[in-house]
Structure formats: structure tokens, C-alpha cells
Structure 1
Amino acid sequence: MIADGLRVLFCGINPGLMTAATGHHFARPGNRFWPVLHLSGFTPRLLKPAEQEELLAHGLGITNVVARATARADELTAREYRDGGRVLADKVTRRRPRWLAVVGVTAYRAAFDDRKAVVGPQERRIGDTRVWVLPNPSGLNAHWTTATMAQEFARLRRAAEEED
């Protein structure tokens, strides 16, 4: 779900099985992406995965690093991440979002061979697109609460608004 010139293009790791079955990003119950997106101020109300098309009206989009659906991200190979990073960079170069927000520091590190990356804004740019790494909203990521994730997403939202 992408358009040209988005404010923020969110990039998940890869589709989970529920996403593959429904065609809706972050569709698994318990995934905190949609609540965090709302709590951080990106959307005026809590959207359901089936309402993902509404993101475009807010200048937002969603894609993935790797297209192959799996039950867990740890089923992906290093080569899939690297190849996915190249495809993603090409997509970003063509579509030119202002920000690419990779949801998951481990995925970012693997896709862009940046082992020292941490959550937050990155030095890397893809063309004119700035890059921000966000925490993974999967329910398996217990290091981040919904509230702390929403704070990090809100930091990105504020940075994106400063450029409007």
C-alpha cells in the first residue's frame, strides 16, 4: 500500500500468516502497530487492519522488507533480508517518501548491513528519503510497551510534521 510522495512509509519485516491470509498489514491480533499508530497521533482514530487504505489520506503507507509470509520473522534468511533491503531501497528511490520507517531494528540491521543501528533516526538516506528505525510492534517484543512504542512513533511524527 504505497503512493508517491508519502510523508512516512512504514516498513514491516515481512507478512505474517494472518496478513497473508487477509491481505491486511499487521493483522494478527495482539500486534500493537494500529494502536501505537493512533496513540502516537499519526491517525485521528484507531484503525483496523481492514481499514489500511485510509492511511493514504494521512500521507502514510505500508510495505515490507521481505515479501515471503512466515509464522515468525526468524524463519527468514540473511539473504532474504539483504535482497529485501535492495528491493526496498529501489522502491523508496522510485516513490520518494519523506521518511522510511523500518519497524524492527533487527530487520533494519539485516536488510541494510548496519549492525550498530539503534531505534531512532539514522544517518543513512535513500536518495532524499530520511530513515527512522522504530521498535517492532509484535506482541513478542516485550522490551517495548505500547506506551513506550507510541512515544517513539510520536518522535517520528513530530519530525515528519516539522518538514510539512
Structure 2
Amino acid sequence: MKNVHSLIACKKGAAAAEMALVTPLLIIIMFGIFEAGNFFWNQHIVSTAVRDGARFAARNPLSEFAGCVPSASVVTATRNVTRTGRVAGGTPRIADWTDGTTTITVTSPCNSTTTSGIYVNYPAGAPVVNVTATVTYNALFNNLGFTTTNLSMEANAQAAVMGF
């Protein structure tokens, strides 16, 4: 009976047992923080890319927006600038960002009432370019069970065409 009491009163392995119980939770929290940070970083990249595309499209000549419809060359160049950061295309800003996983639309409805200055020949108003991108998010730890098959990042930006 004395041996049982001394065994129960012994505290020699308590710290190791507590650490064994807490370590899996700490590892899960750490992986979650890395994954959330990566998601927010990729969302920032997509938002910045869409703004770059809208600014690029807005600085094309007004003649490229005849009838308030962007020319095919403006649409292609804007898609390239948005996805890769270069007019001619190249390596995408996010590894799996392809035209197949991305929808980028460039439209320019004449929805402004400004008809003076550089828009004097546009009685319907200033052309406005809208650029939208939807990119599928791929998790850092996809092989560890963090599946993100339905998770995507979306961004939208618009700018009035200035024709520089």
C-alpha cells in the first residue's frame, strides 16, 4: 500500500506528460498561422495585380475604346499585366495562376456624366474599365490535410480611361 501512495505522489514525469498532450495542439496552431498568412499574402498579390491591370488599361488611348468597348489588344494586354505584371506575359505572380483558373473581364461602360475636357467627344461620359480576377487558392500544406478545393481569392478594381 505504501508503494501505491508513493507512486501517486511522485511528480517526476508530469512535465513530459503535459508536453505530450499540448504539443499536437501547438503544432496545429502553428500550421494554421502559416496557412492563414499565406492566404492573406496571396490575396494581397491578387488585389495588387488587379489594380495594376485597371491602371494599365485606363492609360491606353481613348481611341482603343471606340464605342465604349475595349479593343482586343487592350483586353489581352490587360490580362497579361494583371496575371504576370508584363504586357507580353511571362511567369504568373502566383504559381498556379493561369488563364484557365482565372477569369478577367475588361469592360468599359460609359457611365459617367463627365463630358468635358478629354471626354468632350464622348457624350455618354467617360469610359470606365473594370478588371476582375478570381484565382483558386492552393494551400501550403495541401498534403497534410489542409484541402482548399473550394477556396478562391477574388479582387476587383476600376479606373476611368484617361487616354495617356
TM-score by length of 1: 0.24
Which structure is higher in RCO with an 8 Å CA cutoff and minimum separation 6? 1
- TM-score, with structure 2 as normaliser: 0.24
Q: Larger strand proportion, structure 1 or 2?
A: 1
Which structure: greater helix fraction?
A: 2
